[in-house]
Chain A
Amino acid sequence: MTAYLVILAAGFAGSFHCIGMCGGFACMLGRDPRGDGMTFLRHLAYNIGRLTTYCFLGGLAGAVGQVICTSQGTTVPLLNGPLDTGQRLLAILAGLLMIAMALQFFGLLPRLHRVTTGFGGSTLAASLRSLLTAPGPAAPLAFGVFNGFLPCPLVYAFAAQAASTAGVLPGFFTMLAFGLGTLPAMLLMGGVGRMLAPAWRERGVWLAGSCILVLGLITLGRGLLPFAAHIGGHAA
């Protein structure tokens, strides 16, 4: 459970990073002329769409992990427990990926940044942006769904984490925790986002990077160290 809390926190911290791109979308959702209730509904629909995609990706990554590790469905608790070779390899891979993402957050891997953000999918979301201004809650929901597929290092990192759990359910929960973590900032984006000083945003990005780095190291450790359970002990 603690692990999911860590991810939730990482998601929350990371959501300050989201202000850059997704925050822009959230701002574009704007206010509904029919009142605060409708405005909230629109924002909720957008975020539900986004969260659904995240959870789907998480579940999918987990399922892929499960397929890779032919561990006969013995889903292990996150961050501790016994692991077989397949899971170890997956953990190493996911850990490395997360560490790379974290370094990219610190601006240490500029080339990776181009790869992760210039995946071509961004044109899709960018050209769909005007969907946000369409009336009714269906359009924000649809946009949220597309938005979830936007190339984003945070999503990659947590999808990797989800895959390393090697189970649909833990994968799903990983991404759900991450998505819920981003929720407050994204929901309040219209108001708070604009007030937030750039310095704070910077700090948020560093915090998110640190969280991912720690998670990545732990995941990597799970794969490398024989008694990984002890390393992850603080989370157990």
Chain B
Amino acid sequence: MTATADTLCRHCLLPVGRRAMQRTVNGEGCAFCCYGCCIAHQVENGNLEEHEAAWLLVRIGVGAFLSMNIMLFSLLLYSGAFTGADAGMLPWIHLLLWLFATPAIIILGEPFVRETWLHARQGRLTASALIVLGVGAAYAYSIFATIERSPQVYFDTASMVLMLFTVGYYLDAAGRARAARDLQPLLAAESEWATVVAGDEEHRRPVHEVGAGTLVRVRPGERIPVDGVIIEGCSHADEAVITGESRQVAKGIGAHVVAGSVNLEGPLLIQSSGAASTTRWAQICRSVRDALIRRSPSQRLADAVVGAFVPVILMLGIAAAVYWAQHVPLDRALLIGLAVLVVACPCAVGLAAPMATALGIGRLARHGCLVRDPAALEALARVRLIAFDKTGTLTSGQARVVAVDTDGTAADEALARAAGLERHSEHGLARAVVAAAAARGIEPTAASDVRVVMGRGIHGSADGQVVAAGSAALMRELDWPLAPDLAERGRSREASGHSVIYIGWGGRVNAVLSLDDTPLPEAHATVEALREGGVCVALLTGDLPAAAQRIAAAVGIERGDIEAGLAPAAKPAALARRRREHGTAAMVGDGLNDAPVLAAADVGIAVGSATDLARETAAIALPPGGLWLLPWTIGVARAVRTTILTNLMWAFGYNLVAVGAAAAGLLQPVLAAAVMAGSSIVVVLNSLRLERLPEPVRSQPRQQSRTEPERAPPLRTSGAPVVAA
């Protein structure tokens, strides 16, 4: 058997880990994480007309047939059907049971024996060893009892325990597959095939072989394997895998399609616009797979406990049998030992974390939130402080006109003239001016002879006058007088972190436009939601304190939680200081210039740049424009953590109680096996509750984001500084 620690189970998509089972299904080698997945996969996907594939299920069916017959006879024995006059029949009935039990135990026990043997060769003792030992002891004793003609045999116990474990494993795996159903489309990017059109011929190719410019045919109902442009056909596409919103988007010729979306109706011919391995879908797929393979700290702990658990239980079982042998007949004592072994099988503990984590990661990924590692998810659940970077994270990163100061001229006129000039420029601030005028419904004053002065501004002529917009330096160059009041205002705004544009015409400076980065519309609601969730919010930025305070006030961060003027290298230290006060701290940044602090935080969260996951600077990546998903993401992380904790509590608590009851001789082995199988099903069902988590709800963004300058009060020279944001 090869090392398969880095592959996912074919059936339930959990990491196969060291319990791997390799089987051939439909002529294809598959790795499974457990016997149950092996059965369930066979049931759902096996081509049972092939003898080999059907063999496993036929064996289980025949095993069930035999053990049910054994159980029937044993039930009759227990109900006292062969007492009194019929007692002479007893040895023959026992012989018959032996006859039935031998093939049943060979058939049903083979996978357990095989697993025990494999692990024993690696020097490990696992749960299957408990089952094999317990069942083996019951069977061996029963043979002995049959030969000795003693009144009790336990063939039914031996076969029924195996049967129950087989059924329990199967039900387990069937339940876990429901979790995998959500992950399947996310992981499909790697295994998908594309129909490549070359001339008149069409070939099926693995999607990773598809390069840019290739023509790909997508039939209705198929998943679009590459990013590209539609050349032929029209249809609707469901882009849920990428955007998280299940919505039908109409697509016609020339429309862009995204890899991972589902083509709903018409056949499409698509020209791919890049290599298939670079699409966002492929990126999501890689990150989800990587995350699923890694083990979380709680899982490592649980695995370590399980590793130590098995030998302990083995000793306990033997000790219980030896102890009871001195007080009750040997067969009763053996039965008690068996019950201890069977009931303590720690399957539920092993399942507690991975399934919940997988569900959580899948859930987040469906909304574009990628998690590098289960540990990040667990840390996120514990986060008490979230520090934000300012520019590009809480703000749009794009300047907007926030105030117009004039020397008495109408603000609209200043804006109209400025816009008339600036629409000839490509500068970011220039675009902001044009946008502000458009938002107010101001017609820009047409300008001619427009000339851009590099680094200073722009000038031209309108209505027979020279008009200029730019820095104070430009105005000095033009030798235009600047009223002291206006100059003071401009300086103070500059000092508080605004960008300013002076506007002049008719030989003097008439107005000052102040521009500022503006908070994202969802920033305030996000901060509020985080606070409601019991998380402190802080702002760490390299900008000027005044600018930081303005933004902080707008999004609802308090004065004491702001640290401004931090060089990138100083941010980790600032975060560490706050972490000492609050506990686990997360840092949210745009990932471009906060890499050091993202990496230094307990959880680094990058907004809009999934590449940070791959570079390991961030542990969690939100989709572009996905700041609003942050509170929901934390909610999911917390739900996952709660589920893992309840699972572990249930699994351990149950084991302790059950082992105690079994060692005290209160639990029949068959009942113990049934309850054991039930316990892992409880864990699966508890984890499946995560499927019912609420969808993220975007709090209504304030609609004025584009028209905000309109809300600016009338701007006068004498007015107090006016800030609208």
Chain A contacts to B: CB under 8 angstroms? 48-49, 52-53, 55-56, 59-60, 62-63, 66, 73, 75, 124, 127-128, 130-131, 133-135, 138-139, 141-146, 167-169, 172
Set of chain B residues within 8 Å of A66, measured between Cβ atoms: 79
Inter-subunit contact B80/A145 (CB<8 Å): no
Inter-subunit contact A52/B69 (CB<8 Å): yes
Choose from B47, B54, B68 the contact partner of A139 (Cβ within 8 Å): B54
Mask, B623-646, CB within 8 Å of A = 1, is 000000000000000000000000
Inter-subunit contact A145/B65 (CB<8 Å): yes
Choose from A52, A63, A130 the contact partner of B75 (Cβ within 8 Å): A63
Interface of chain B residues 26 through 50 with chain A (CB within 8 A): 43-44, 47-49
Q: Which 10 A-B pairs have the closest CB atoms?
A: A142-B61, A130-B48, A56-B68, A168-B79, A142-B58, A168-B75, A134-B54, A145-B61, A59-B75, A145-B64
CB of A105 to closest CB in B, whole Å = 27
Instruction: Say yes or no: A142-B76 contact (C-beta < 8 A), given A130-B48, A130-B49.
Output: no
Choose from A55, A124, A142 the contact partner of B62 (Cβ within 8 Å): A142
Inter-subunit contact B65/A172 (CB<8 Å): no
Inter-subunit contact A143/B79 (CB<8 Å): no
User: Quick one: which of A53, A56, A172 has the most chain B CB within 10 A?
Assistant: A56
Residue of B nearest to A176 (CB): B72
Known: A139-B54, A142-B61. 5 other contacts (CB 8 A): A52-B72, A62-B75, A66-B79, A130-B48, A145-B65
CB of B722 to closest CB in A, whole Å = 66
Interface of chain B residues 76 through 100 with chain A (CB within 8 A): 76, 78-81
Asked if B71 CB lies within 8 Å of chain A CBs, one says: yes
Asked if B51 CB lies within 8 Å of chain A CBs, one says: yes
Asked if B60 CB lies within 8 Å of chain A CBs, one says: yes
**Complex-state Cα separation, A50 to B295, whole angstroms:** 44
Asked if B57 CB lies within 8 Å of chain A CBs, one says: yes
CB of B202 to closest CB in A, whole Å = 31
Inter-subunit contact A146/B61 (CB<8 Å): yes
Q: How many A-B residue pairs have CB under 8 A?
A: 91
CB of A197 to closest CB in B, whole Å = 32
Inter-subunit contact B76/A169 (CB<8 Å): yes
**Complex-state Cα separation, A63 to B670, whole angstroms:** 14
How many interface residues does B have (CB within 8 Å)? 25
Inter-subunit contact B48/A134 (CB<8 Å): yes
Residue of A nearest to B44 (CB): A127
Set of chain A residues within 8 Å of B61, measured between Cβ atoms: 49, 131, 138-139, 141-146
Inter-subunit contact B72/A142 (CB<8 Å): no
Inter-subunit contact A142/B60 (CB<8 Å): yes
Set of chain B residues within 8 Å of A139, measured between Cβ atoms: 54, 58, 61
**Complex-state Cα separation, A123 to B60, whole angstroms:** 17
Inter-subunit contact B48/A73 (CB<8 Å): no
**Complex-state Cα separation, A55 to B72, whole angstroms:** 8
Inter-subunit contact B78/A168 (CB<8 Å): yes
Residue of B nearest to A48 (CB): B65
Residue of A nearest to B78 (CB): A168
**Complex-state Cα separation, A56 to B58, whole angstroms:** 19
A-B contact pairs, 9 of them (CB 8 A): A49-B65, A60-B71, A127-B44, A130-B49, A134-B54, A138-B58, A142-B62, A146-B61, A169-B79
CB of A67 to closest CB in B, whole Å = 11
Inter-subunit contact B43/A172 (CB<8 Å): no
Residue of A nearest to B45 (CB): A127
User: Quick one: which of B68, B69, B76 has the most chain A CB within 10 A?
Assistant: B68
**Complex-state Cα separation, A135 to B55, whole angstroms:** 11
Instruction: Say yes or no: A60-B54 contact (C-beta < 8 A), given A124-B43, A146-B61.
Output: no
Residue of A nearest to B67 (CB): A56
Inter-subunit contact A59/B71 (CB<8 Å): yes
Residue of B nearest to A170 (CB): B79
Instruction: Say yes or no: A172-B76 contact (C-beta < 8 A), given A52-B65, A59-B71.
Output: yes
Inter-subunit contact B79/A73 (CB<8 Å): yes
Set of chain A residues within 8 Å of B79, measured between Cβ atoms: 63, 66, 73, 75, 167-169
Inter-subunit contact B51/A134 (CB<8 Å): yes
Set of chain B residues within 8 Å of A145, measured between Cβ atoms: 61-62, 64-65, 68
Set of chain A residues within 8 Å of B49, measured between Cβ atoms: 130, 133-134
User: Quick one: which of A48, A49, A59, A133 has the most chain B CB within 10 A?
Assistant: A59
**Complex-state Cα separation, A141 to B65, whole angstroms:** 8
Inter-subunit contact B47/A135 (CB<8 Å): no
Set of chain A residues within 8 Å of B78, measured between Cβ atoms: 63, 168
**Complex-state Cα separation, A34 to B15, whole angstroms:** 47
Set of chain A residues within 8 Å of B68, measured between Cβ atoms: 52-53, 55-56, 145
Choose from A48, A130, A169 the contact partner of B81 (Cβ within 8 Å): A169
Choose from A75, A135, A168 the contact partner of B51 (Cβ within 8 Å): A135
Instruction: Say yes or no: A127-B43 contact (C-beta < 8 A), given A134-B48, A145-B61.
Output: yes
Set of chain B residues within 8 Å of A55, measured between Cβ atoms: 68, 72
Set of chain B residues within 8 Å of A131, measured between Cβ atoms: 48, 54, 57-58, 61
Inter-subunit contact A56/B72 (CB<8 Å): yes
Set of chain B residues within 8 Å of A75, measured between Cβ atoms: 79
**Complex-state Cα separation, A62 to B80, whole angstroms:** 14
Inter-subunit contact A128/B65 (CB<8 Å): no
Choose from B48, B59, B71 the contact partner of A56 (Cβ within 8 Å): B71
CB of A77 to closest CB in B, whole Å = 15
Residue of B nearest to A143 (CB): B61
Set of chain A residues within 8 Å of B64, measured between Cβ atoms: 53, 142, 145-146
Set of chain B residues within 8 Å of A168, measured between Cβ atoms: 75-76, 78-79, 81
CB of B678 to closest CB in A, whole Å = 16
CB of B710 to closest CB in A, whole Å = 58
Residue of A nearest to B43 (CB): A127
**Complex-state Cα separation, A133 to B75, whole angstroms:** 34
Set of chain B residues within 8 Å of A135, measured between Cβ atoms: 51
Set of chain A residues within 8 Å of B76, measured between Cβ atoms: 59, 168-169, 172
User: Quick one: which of B49, B71, B75 has the most chain A CB within 10 A?
Assistant: B75
**Complex-state Cα separation, A127 to B81, whole angstroms:** 39
Inter-subunit contact A138/B62 (CB<8 Å): yes
CB of A147 to closest CB in B, whole Å = 9
**Complex-state Cα separation, A48 to B59, whole angstroms:** 16
Residue of B nearest to A171 (CB): B75
Set of chain A residues within 8 Å of B71, measured between Cβ atoms: 56, 59-60
User: Quick one: which of B49, B57, B79, B80 has the most chain A CB within 10 A?
Assistant: B79
Choose from B43, B57, B81 the contact partner of A142 (Cβ within 8 Å): B57
Set of chain B residues within 8 Å of A167, measured between Cβ atoms: 79
Inter-subunit contact A73/B58 (CB<8 Å): no
Choose from B57, B62, B72, B80 the contact partner of A128 (Cβ within 8 Å): B57
**Complex-state Cα separation, A145 to B59, whole angstroms:** 11
CB of B295 to closest CB in A, whole Å = 31
Residue of A nearest to B71 (CB): A56
Residue of A nearest to B65 (CB): A145
Set of chain B residues within 8 Å of A130, measured between Cβ atoms: 47-49, 54
**Complex-state Cα separation, A127 to B54, whole angstroms:** 11
Set of chain B residues within 8 Å of A141, measured between Cβ atoms: 61-62, 65
**Complex-state Cα separation, A128 to B47, whole angstroms:** 10
CB of B57 to closest CB in A, whole Å = 6
Choose from B51, B59, B72 the contact partner of A172 (Cβ within 8 Å): B72
Residue of B nearest to A132 (CB): B48
Set of chain B residues within 8 Å of A142, measured between Cβ atoms: 57-62, 64-65
Set of chain B residues within 8 Å of A127, measured between Cβ atoms: 43-44
